[in-house]
Amino acid sequence: MEWETVIGLEIHAQLSTKSKIFSGSSTAYGAEPNTQASLIDLGMPGVLPVLNKEAVHMAVKFGLAIDAHLAPRSVFARKNYFYPDLPKGYQISQYELPIVGIGHMDIELEDGSIKRIGVTRAHLEEDAGKSLHEDFQGQTGIDLNRAGTPLLEIVSEPDMRNAKEAVAYMKKLHALVRYLGVCDGNMQEGSFRCDANVSVRRPGAEFGTRAEIKNLNSFKFIERAINHEVERQIDIIESGGKVVQETRLYDPDRNETRSMRSKEDANDYRYFPDPDLLPVELTPEFIESVRATLPELPNAKKVRFMDAYKLSAYDADMLTQSRDVADYFEAVAQACGDAKLAANWVNGELAAALNRAGIELADVPVTADAFAGLLKRILDNTISGKIAKEVFDAMWNGEGDADTVIDKKGLKQITDTGAIEAMIDDIIAANPKQTEEYRAGKDKLFGFFVGAAMKASKGKANPDQVNAILKQKLAG
């Protein structure tokens, strides 16, 4: 009998506030250890936390974007546990009354169908510090710069049935929080990470015992970790064993999960309302003021791109996965006047160059205006699409705008009909055997002649003219 996988994700999105959720300490990444931790973050006696209003604003913004219930009254609680990088001995979080209640996200599956994933809740909380091991042989260092950093923990329903669905859901959330501007989504710096709760069961049976895989910060690792955990649990059950409820870590080098600690239940944390913080009460006026700040969301933008620019669903989907990419595309499309050409180049050459360089669009060395300038030279037949790639590489390397590169390298397209005819006459004369075979019906040889013509012109002959003249000449 088949096994069914059950997956729920707890995603931690670090909110993009300048200061921490309960203190004025900076949240800037990369500072020297323990230089951004105040007495409040350390939980010293006699200090009191003060809630950061911007964190509340961002949580409400997220709740509105997933069509969630917003609690008119939410409460902060103390989640009690001991850990070396949690100096207070408790984490300020929300428990029974979170600020964002039930909502949903729709994901697109590989077969093109849409699946709705339930969001159980999204609550505000502070992050803990960080344990350091690399520079402390046989010891552990503690960096409390992260202590008190605002997090929005987004808890899903156990609605996902395989690792690919989990990745699709996480990517959708990743794009959404970046569109909203509530999280920078930087997974390498830990700004967006998740815990995956994984169990297996026979179809229709009750949920099995779940294991939690902690701190996954890569889409690739999430998929691999879940797949490994599913296989591990099935092997245990089919061997007559029982899965233990526990927290596990994923080791990407060995592609395996391993036990970290037993998994606590909520009762073990002895939650109780934090006496130092008042309940958060949201007025309808505040909620509406936040709603007014919502940007155009990815799904709406995708539909608009398909309608306004006549793009395919695939192109529109690719272009709207990132707000930066969508904005860049629109600027290029409007400046060059050909949305389809702009989509092809942004999704193709530009995306490949970003991937090769390992950089984000914010750091791209070719501005949208300059990129549009390159596409204009394709549209007015100054250069061919093939030559345009050479020009783009030069622009990427800082050699100037499209016109400068074209002039400097002598890349203008050859459109002189007489010159192209003379070149093709020479090619036909130099290849009598291929000419005879083509005229005898071997049509595939046409590509040979096109290639020879483009090679002879160093890629600068107008392809349309080459094709037309070749057909005429080869027809005899």
Task: Supply the DSSP string of 228-276, one letter for each residue.
Answer: HHHHHHHHHHHTT--PPPEEEEEETTTTEEEEEEEPPPGGGG--EE-TT
User: 378-387 pLDDT, tens per residue?
Assistant: 999 899 888 9
- Please compute the mean of the pLDDT values over residues 421-429 and round it to a whole number: 91
Mind listing the pLDDT tens digit for each residue in 163-215?
A: 999 999 999 999 999 999 999 999 989 999 999 999 999 998 999 999 999 99
What's phi and psi for 169, nearest 5 deg? -65, -45
Q: Is residue 261 predicted with pLDDT exceeding 90?
A: no
- At 112-169, the pLDDT tens digits run 899 999 999 999 999 999 888 877 788 889 999 999 999 999 999 999 999 999 999 9
Is 14 a residue whose pLDDT tops 80? Answer: yes
DSSP states of 71-91 as a string? PSEE-EEEEE---TT-TTSEE
Decide if pLDDT at 459 tops 90: no
Asked if pLDDT for residue 266 goes beyond 80, the answer is: no
* Residue 225, φ and ψ in degrees, nearest 5: -65, -45
Res 264 pLDDT > 80: no
pLDDT band at 263 (very low <50, low <70, confident <90, very high): low
41 contacts 23 by C-beta, under 8 angstroms:
yes
Q: Is the predicted pLDDT of residue 476 greater than 80, yes or no?
A: no
φ/ψ of residue 284, rounded to 5: -55, -35
- In the predicted model, is pLDDT for residue 375 greater than 80? yes
Is residue 267 scored above 90 in pLDDT?
Answer: no
230-259 per-position pLDDT tens digit: 999 999 999 999 999 999 999 999 999 999
Q: With 90 as the cut, is the pLDDT of residue 221 above it?
A: yes
Contact yes or no for 40/165 (Cβ under 8 A): no
- Crossing angle for the helix pair 432-439 and 446-456, nearest 10 degrees? 140
What is the overall mean pLDDT for the chain?
93
For 453-475, letters b (16+ CB in 10 Å) and e give: bbebbebbbbbebbeebbeeebe
Q: Which residues pair with 154 in a beta bridge?
A: 11, 122
For the segment 299-310, the average pLDDT, to the nearest whole number, is 95
Q: Where does the pLDDT of residue 475 fall: very low under 50, low under 70, confident under 90, or very high at 90 and above?
A: confident
Give percent of the chain with pLDDT exceeding 90: 78
* DSSP letters spanning 308-371: HH---HHHHHHHTSSHHHHHHHHHHHHHHS-HHHHHHHIIIIIHHHHHHHT--GGG-SS-HHHH
Is residue 329 within 8 Å of residue 343, measured between CB atoms? yes
